Amino acid sequence: SVINVSNNSENVPAKFILHQNYPNPFNPSTTIKFEIIETGVVSLKIYDMLGREVRELISARLTPGIYSEKFDSRNLPSGAYFYRLQSGEQVKTMKMLLLK
């Protein structure tokens, strides 16, 4: 289910982009912005340093556009995490830092 995703579909992006989260480092929440160019199933997941999935933020069929998703890190320890966006064959991963 998609929660708190905003789409600005007036500007269809030219390429698949995963932006650096803001703020970074963060506590307790951060915003992850991304751009997709094709309609399809999109997943946005958070992983710990050992590669274990700790949260699935998005798993939904989305249309081309610019999206942002808020990640609330309550119940997670301080440390580095990775967020991974997948849309079809395209995958991007970025690192973020949670400081409590």
What are 31-58's pLDDT values in tens digits?
A: 999 999 999 999 999 999 999 999 999 9
First to last CA, the chain: 28
Q: Say whether pLDDT at 14 is over 90.
A: no
**In this predicted structure, what is the pLDDT of residue 3?**
46
Please report the pLDDT score of residue 1 as a whole number.
40
The bridge status of strand 17-18 relative to strand 90-98 is unpaired
Beta strands in the chain (DSSP E): 6-8, 17-18, 29-36, 40-47, 53-62, 65-72, 79-87, 90-98
What CA–CA distance (Å, rounded) separates 93 from 7?
21
pTM (2 d.p.)? 0.88
Q: Decide if pLDDT at 2 tops 60.
A: no
Residue 70 DSSP symbol: E
